[in-house]
Amino acid sequence: MNPASTALNAETPMKSGTRLGRLDIARGVALIAMAIYHFGWDLEFFGYLAQGSASQGWWRIFARCIASSFLFLVGFSLVLAHARAIRWKPFMIRLAQVVLAAAAISLLTWFFMPQGFIFFGILHQIALASLLGLLFLRSPVWLTILLAAAIIATPVYYRAEFFNHPALWWVGLSSINPISNDYVPLFPWFGAVLLGIASARIMQATGLLRLLQGGIKPQWLERLLTFIGRHSLIFYLVHQPVLIGLLYGFSAILPPSPALQAANFVNQCTVQCSANGDEQLCRVYCSCMLETIEANNLSNLLRSPAATDEERQKLSAFSAQCVITAVPVKTESLEPL
């Protein structure tokens, strides 16, 4: 996720090659925080938390802080690894690893979660930001900070329909919010990378990088966080399959309560339906779908979206009936799911 080397710039009075242990620890803390957030997301996915819990309130703020810290550290590490001279070979090897990992995540989520597949997530942003960040390794620090502020603020004050085409969603300035399980576009997130670049250069110039030397106590925690921080890409790729596998096994032994499953189904159904129709009518439609599914002993579909061909045919028939129930006169106001 970040360049492995943290060799220091010649401007710092420390010996070249000195490793900043607390930077590895900070990266490890960010990865642990990410795993905690993803565990909450997985609990919601398996039906143990109410639908939308992981994308609202403090959970949403938590997720944004984690993404910001990752990208800040990308910029910071970029300076430490390449400020003296761009080391093209290790840079390109690391970039290729991140690009391949990002492509694999897009491909897997396209097959398993097509409605919210990850087309431009944190790894995609890191790959692009690593390339663009090279342009600012020697630019005036004040200009880097100013541009960072502009990139962060732009989506708040400017969005345009021109960017609504899916090919431009990676920019982050569309007037709609694309549906994705991990969406980290150029605007505003590249601003965090630029702040990391500026901070590293300021700390180099002032000798404050010494503060990042050493470790923390207890030593077992330092060793754990350092190990995770130095193997960040592997940890990122492995932690979610492990968490999902554990929760899948747990759900087979102790599934979520039927009442929570039913509520989650109605909420998720309503959100999807509301994209094409009135929310109140959609809730009536989705409640009808829930009652029909339960009445036909298909409650297993509330826990998992997977269905056989026969079950899909039944769901299609149920959907048509519930559209008529929800909108007895103007059936065109709703589209069957």
User: Are residues 234 and 269 part of one domain?
Assistant: no
145-196: pLDDT as tens digits: 999 999 999 999 999 999 999 999 999 999 988 989 899 999 999 999 999 9
- Please indicate, yes or no, if residue 8 is contained in any of the structural domains: no
The answer to whether 50 and 263 are in contact (CB under 8 A) is yes
- Please indicate, yes or no, if residue 7 is contained in any of the structural domains: no
Last residue of a domain, one of 218, 234, 253: 253
User: Are residues 306 and 170 part of one domain?
Assistant: no
- Please indicate, yes or no, if residue 11 is contained in any of the structural domains: no
Q: Report the distance separating Cα 84 and Cα 146, nearest Å.
A: 23
Arithmetic mean of pLDDT, 280-309: 75
- How wide is the angle at C-alpha 118 spanned by C-alphas 252 and 48, nearest 5°? 30
- Please indicate, yes or no, if residue 171 is contained in any of the structural domains: yes
User: Are residues 87 and 217 part of one domain?
Assistant: yes
Q: Report the distance separating Cα 118 and Cα 97, nearest Å.
A: 17
User: Are residues 65 and 35 part of one domain?
Assistant: yes
User: Are residues 321 and 202 part of one domain?
Assistant: no
- The band of 276, judged by pLDDT with boundaries at 50, 70 and 90, is low
Number of domains, the chain: 2
Q: Fill in the DSSP letter of residue 163.
A: G
Place of tokens 């921080």: 229
Q: Give DSSP secondary structure letters for 167-203.
A: GGGGGS-BSS----SSB--HHHHHHHHHHHHHHHHHH
Written as one letter, the residue type at 21 is G
User: Are residues 265 and 232 part of one domain?
Assistant: no
Which among 113, 86, 69, 94 has a CA at the least distance from the CA of 2?
A: 94
Q: Which domain holds residue 48?
A: 21-253
**What is the model's pTM?**
0.79
Arithmetic mean of pLDDT, 4-28: 60
User: Are residues 311 and 245 part of one domain?
Assistant: no
Q: Tell the burial category of 178 from Cβ atoms under 10 Å away from its Cβ (0-12, 13-18, 19+).
A: middle
Place of tokens 């984690």: 66
- How wide is the angle at C-alpha 244 spanned by C-alphas 289 and 172, nearest 5°? 75
Q: Report the distance separating Cα 230 and Cα 20, nearest Å.
A: 11
The answer to whether 264 and 47 are in contact (CB under 8 A) is yes
The answer to whether 19 and 6 are in contact (CB under 8 A) is yes
Whole-number pLDDT of residue 313:
78
Q: Which of 81-90, 190-199, 223-232, 322-331 has the lowest mean pLDDT?
A: 322-331
Q: Fill in the DSSP letter of residue 333.
A: G
- Please indicate, yes or no, if residue 119 is contained in any of the structural domains: yes
Average pLDDT, rounded, for the chain: 85
Q: Report the distance separating Cα 5 and Cα 25, nearest Å.
A: 14
Q: Which of 54-58, 118-122, 246-250 has the lowest mean pLDDT?
A: 54-58
143-175 as b/e: b if 16+ CB within 10 A? ebbebbeebbebbeeebeeebeeeeebbebbbe
